[in-house]
């Protein structure tokens, strides 16, 4: 008989005027994998942060194994058998695996018999769950997938019976996702309880036995996973029906209009991150770049958009060489030639969050008519233009004078996209277009990119979301360690094939 291990009753949490969790009731059964889904700002991570002791609820009760408990800190949660693997790993990179795991729980000494016992206990856990981790390895030398295993191992070593994972597959290859799922299923078979926070509905359907849906701080549904489907879950999340597949016409590829020849680029530490890359994109085509984060995609897009210096090689637009190591173009000059750029980090490079939405909506074009004349801004024209664009792109709220930091991540992304797409560029460079974006906004953004492609734009799309690459791209290249290691037409190509290339396994 299934028994509850975690029960939340009437949980409320507010941050100032924001009511993040509203009378949340949730029961998670022992030995299950329970999914929690919802849009950005739905309150998922806040709720689980309360369970892990990072936040304290304003009201409500928490029970573990039918006993009411108070969780005032993560240490309280760990003592009560709760572990959490955060989206951004909490590891000290220059420490070993063993040092990271015992950090904070080493007691009076980290030497002698106690340390040896810790190593033996960890080796046994590694063997039980087939983790294959070298306890003496330095964290900085491990892949993202193995770092995640270290986080899980750390929780198990500390006695976790309930393991919370927050967006665990965001930076993993398909093969690493498979390995993670094997580990989670193995943990479930051993009687552990897994709580999975994710926005990927395919993972919910594949892995979980039960799923709970949150919307705008409230719990709006619970169901057995076998009794639902992706479309129903998406509708519960958003409050309306959502098109999960991109409606894309047959490609009408034109001539090559953007070309990259033997391009090499260094990062800020003078390390070569892009190594002799060759690319070409035709009008009416989306070329997708697949790869795990940190394999040169960021530096490549920065060089192509004029933000980063080219070390060697050159870039051509409409057959004209526009950039090489001796000729460094800035983004404004590239905009004038018909090239637009949606940066992958909207906070750091795409927006000035303390400025108004209407100001962010014209950056890069603010010195041009009708927005300015003789270096004087036309505020009336800027506001009218902004209101029109915000309505067209469904930016909420449609308030041009609102400070940009007050918009959600999805609406901030729409502000950037509307700014760049509204000028009808001939070439569009777009990095991580839906990172941290709600499922409803994802649908909108994907359709806008397809519309651009159908109007003849050449689009270079870099994304760590393999589903996004497969859904949008006409042709796909894979980057690994700064190099293009494979190219595929997007016809019958599988995520397995791309995943092997992303992991550095050559064809």
Give 308-334 pLDDT, tens digit per residue.
999 999 999 998 888 766 766 677 788
Count Cβ atoms below 10 Å from residue 423 Cβ, excluding itself.
12
- 1: Cβ–Cβ under 8 A, 6 or more apart, which residues? none
Answer whether residue 400 shows pLDDT above 70. Answer: yes
Sign of CA dihedral 6, 11, 16, 19: positive
Instruction: Identify the CA nearest to 496 among candidates 19, 173, 48.
Output: 173
In the prediction, which pLDDT does 43 show?
85
Average pLDDT over residues 473-493: 92
Share of the chain above pLDDT 70, in %: 94
In the prediction, which pLDDT does 109 show?
44
Most confident of 42-46, 192-196, 443-447, 490-494: 192-196
Contact 249, 454 (CB under 8 A): yes
Q: Tell me the sheet residues that pair with 212.
A: 36, 222
In the prediction, which pLDDT does 392 show?
86
- Across 164-173, 192-201, 250-259, 465-474, least confident range: 164-173
Answer whether residue 351 shows pLDDT above 80. Answer: yes
Average pLDDT over residues 452-471: 91
For 4-238, CATH gives: 3.40.50.300
In the prediction, which pLDDT does 486 show?
92
Count Cβ atoms below 10 Å from residue 391 Cβ, excluding itself.
10
Answer whether residue 171 shows pLDDT above 70. Answer: no
**Residue 358 tokens, joined:** 């209407």
In the prediction, which pLDDT does 411 show?
81
User: Which DSSP helix (H) or strand (E) runs through 475?
Assistant: strand 475-480
In the prediction, which pLDDT does 507 show?
57
Answer whether residue 367 shows pLDDT above 60. Answer: yes
Who wins on pLDDT, 42 or 264?
264
| Integer Cα distance of 168 and 293 in angstroms | 14
- Across 116-120, 288-292, 340-344, least confident range: 116-120
Answer whether residue 65 shows pLDDT above 80. Answer: yes
Answer whether residue 416 shows pLDDT above 60. Answer: yes
In the prediction, which pLDDT does 378 show?
79
In the prediction, which pLDDT does 328 show?
66
- Across 11-15, 151-155, 188-192, 495-499, least confident range: 495-499
Answer whether residue 108 shows pLDDT above 50. Answer: no
Most confident of 52-61, 117-126, 286-295, 411-420: 52-61
130: left (phi over 0), alpha (psi -120 to 50) or beta: left
CATH superfamily of 256-502: P-loop containing nucleotide triphosphate hydrolases (3.40.50.300)
Average pLDDT over residues 225-249: 82
Average pLDDT over residues 217-238: 91
Q: Tell me the sheet residues that pair with 215.
A: 218
Instruction: Identify the CA nearest to 465 among candidates 428, 436, 490.
Output: 436
In the prediction, which pLDDT does 496 show?
82
Question: Per the confidence metrics, is the pTM higher than 0.85?
Answer: no
| Integer Cα distance of 60 and 219 in angstroms | 14
Share of the chain above pLDDT 90, in %: 43
In the prediction, which pLDDT does 115 show?
77
CATH 3.40.50.300 in the chain, residues?
4-238, 256-502
Extended beta strands in 357-466, E state: 372-373, 376-377, 427-431, 458-462
């Amino acid at each position: 008989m299934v028994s509850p291990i975690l029960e939340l009753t009437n949980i409320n949490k507010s941050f100032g005027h924001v009511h993040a969790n509203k009378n949340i009731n949730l029961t998670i059964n022992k030995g299950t994998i329970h999914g929690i889904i919802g849009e950005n700002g739905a309150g998922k991570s806040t709720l689980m942060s309360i369970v892990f002791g990072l936040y304290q609820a304003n009201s409500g009760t928490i029970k573990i194994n039918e006993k009411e408990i108070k969780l005032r800190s993560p240490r309280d949660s760990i003592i009560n058998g709760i572990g959490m693997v955060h989206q951004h790993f909490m590891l000290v990179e220059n420490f070993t695996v063993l040092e990271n795991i015992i950090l904070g729980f080493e007691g009076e000494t980290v030497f002698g018999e106690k340390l040896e016992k810790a190593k033996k206990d960890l080796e046994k856990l590694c063997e039980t769950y087939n983790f294959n981790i070298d306890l003496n390895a330095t964290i900085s030398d491990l892949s993202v997938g193995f770092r995640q295993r270290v986080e899980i191992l750390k929780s198990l070593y500390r006695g976790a019976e309930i393991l919370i994972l927050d967006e665990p597959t965001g930076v993993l290859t398909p093969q690493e996702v498979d390995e993670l799922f094997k580990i989670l299923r193995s943990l479930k078979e051993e009687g552990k309880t897994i709580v999975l926070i994710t926005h990927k509905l395919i993972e919910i359907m594949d892995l979980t036995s039960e799923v709970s849906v949150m919307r705008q701080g409230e719990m709006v549904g619970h169901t057995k996973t076998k009794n639902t489907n992706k479309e129903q879950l998406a509708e519960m999340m958003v409050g309306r029906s959502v098109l999960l597949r991109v409606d894309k016409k047959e490609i009408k590829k034109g001539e090559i209009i953007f070309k990259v020849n033997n391009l090499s680029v260094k990062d800020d530490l003078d390390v070569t991150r892009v190594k002799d890359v060759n690319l070409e994109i035709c009008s009416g085509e989306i070329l997708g770049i697949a790869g795990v984060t940190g394999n040169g995609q960021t530096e490549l897009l920065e060089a192509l958009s004029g933000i980063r210096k080219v070390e060697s090689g050159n870039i051509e637009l409409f057959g004209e060489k526009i950039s090489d190591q001796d000729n460094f173009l800035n983004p404004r000059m590239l905009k004038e030639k018909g090239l637009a750029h949606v940066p992958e980090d909207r906070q750091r490079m795409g927006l000035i969050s303390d400025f108004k939405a209407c100001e962010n909506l014209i950056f890069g074009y603010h010195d041009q008519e009708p927005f300015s004349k003789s270096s004087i801004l036309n505020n009336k024209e800027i506001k009218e233009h902004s209101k029109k664009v915000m309505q067209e792109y469904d930016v909420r709220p449609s308030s041009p004078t609102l400070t940009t930091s007050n918009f959600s991540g999805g609406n901030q992304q729409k502000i950037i996209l509307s700014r760049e797409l509204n000028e009808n560029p001939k070439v569009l460079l777009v990095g991580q277009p839906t990172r941290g974006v709600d499922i409803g906004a994802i649908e909108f953004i994907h359709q806008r990119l397809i519309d651009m492609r159908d109007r003849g734009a050449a689009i270079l799309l870099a994304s760590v979301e393999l589903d996004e690459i497969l859904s949008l791209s006409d042709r796909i290249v894979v980057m690994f360690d700064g190099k293009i290691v494979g190219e595929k037409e997007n016809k019958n190509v599988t995520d397995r094939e791309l995943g092997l290339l992303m992991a550095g396994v050559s064809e």
